[in-house]
Amino acid sequence: MTAVRITYVTETYPPELNGVSLTVERAVRHLRARGHEVDLIRPRQAAETAVVSTDELLTMGCPIPVYPDMRIGLASAATLRRRFERTRPEIVHAATEGPLGWAALRAARALKVPFTSDFRTNFHEYSRYYGLGWFSPVVYDYLRRFHNHGQRTFVPSDATRIQLSRNGFARVDVVGRGVDTVLFRPEKRSPALRKLLGVRDGPMLLYVGRLAAEKNVSLALCAFESVRLLMPEATMVLVGEGPLRRRLEEEFPAALFVGALRGEELARYYASADLFLFPSTSETFGNVTLEALASGLPVIAFDTAAAADHVDDCGNGLLAPVGEEEAFIAAACNLALQHRHLGAVRAQARRAALEANWSDVLSRFEFLLAETAMLHSPHAMSGATVAA
């Protein structure tokens, strides 16, 4: 494949810890390793100094009010246009739809450079979790206009493609998601960690993700309380940080909150658990679902996003119809009572994850970027202007 000059724009990147930032980092590494010239544009983190190099631009940023540990990027379309005139990208890709992504879109259109984007987060769904349900249609219209300005929108699942296509999003392509099956695997189960966490004869239930309203974490904790009525020795561990942590710790004192983890330590927590509870219905995917399956964990989730694609109901986990919280709780109780006899379920979970290969996913993403750059090759960069 011929090397392509790619400008990759994102408003979240490590050390920020979330599914989008980690996936973006992996994609950038893959593209550079394959010989493509990738100019990464992202907000400067609080502890970072300004950097302007041939392959990275750190812009101004400011914290997101609900998530002070995350930032949005601030740069004008004119600034990015001057950058593009120097680096001459053959395609501009935006992983996020915030102010930085919008500025990149305006600059790319002004210079007639092909533009693609990712639809990774159901921001319109988030509105109702923060008392702003009336604002959801406005957010959805913004997202639709943003993505429809580009040549392609990439989504992680077929369910998301269908949903967006039905609601006026054009040129939507599925690229999927993968999982690191070397890092996340059942062999990392640690009796020492289980002992440290106080796990004895009962099952260890696990949640991994942000502790925020849109993740519906309280439902996982309610399921744990129901399990405890049947099995008082059950343990619930929550991995992650977020604005609800203090409140949830007060409401559910029997649960263990261990904070954000990553790498080998996170892999040990996954493998050392018996069940994975994922109660969110606001995901476009949910990378943690694949991480749990790769670790040999039966998954209890709603029939949507990654779970709809990778969890075989009654095979490697249990699925509840979206919105039926009692069914979710019943599923958790069902598998918790069987936790000593789930060897075949755990094996099937691992097999499902092995089919989600990052190499295949990233190769497809790379191909679609290169194809788009070729099919929509830019005209000479002139003084054209655009109102977006």
143-181 per-position pLDDT tens digit: 999 999 999 999 998 889 999 999 999 999 999 999 999
pLDDT band of residue 387 (cuts 50, 70, 90) is: very low
pLDDT above 90 for 341: yes
- By mean pLDDT, which of 126-140, 263-277, 372-386 is the weakest? 372-386
Across 69-82, average pLDDT:
84
Distance CA 27, CA 9 (A): 12
- By mean pLDDT, which of 105-119, 122-136, 341-355 is the weakest? 122-136
Q: Sheet containing 235-239: which strands, arranged edge to edge?
A: 256-259, 235-239, 204-208, 275-278, 299-302, 317-320
Tokens matching residue 175: 């690229």
Whole-structure pTM value: 0.87
Q: What is the pLDDT of residues 98-109, one digit of tens each?
A: 999 999 999 999
258 close to 279: Cβ distance less than 8 angstroms:
no
pLDDT, position 386? 35
pLDDT band of residue 47 (cuts 50, 70, 90) is: confident
Tokens matching residue 49: 């100094």
pLDDT above 90 for 15: no
pLDDT, position 218? 98
Distance CA 343, CA 346 (A): 5
Distance CA 352, CA 368 (A): 25
Q: Sheet containing 115-118: which strands, arranged edge to edge?
A: 71-74, 56-63, 37-43, 5-9, 91-94, 115-118, 152-155, 172-174
pLDDT band of residue 71 (cuts 50, 70, 90) is: low
pLDDT, position 385? 36
pLDDT, position 123? 60
pLDDT band of residue 380 (cuts 50, 70, 90) is: very low
Q: What is the pLDDT of residues 344-364, one digit of tens each?
A: 999 999 999 999 999 999 999
276 close to 300: Cβ distance less than 8 angstroms:
yes
Buried residues in 243-267 as b, exposed as e (16+ CB within 10 A): ebbeebeeebeebbbeebbeeeebb
Across 2-17, average pLDDT:
92
pLDDT above 70 for 208: yes
Domains of the chain with CATH codes: 5-178+357-375 (3.40.50.2000), 186-354 (3.40.50.2000)
Across 225-237, average pLDDT:
98
pLDDT above 50 for 7: yes
pLDDT, position 18? 82
pLDDT above 90 for 74: no
Distance CA 350, CA 359 (A): 17
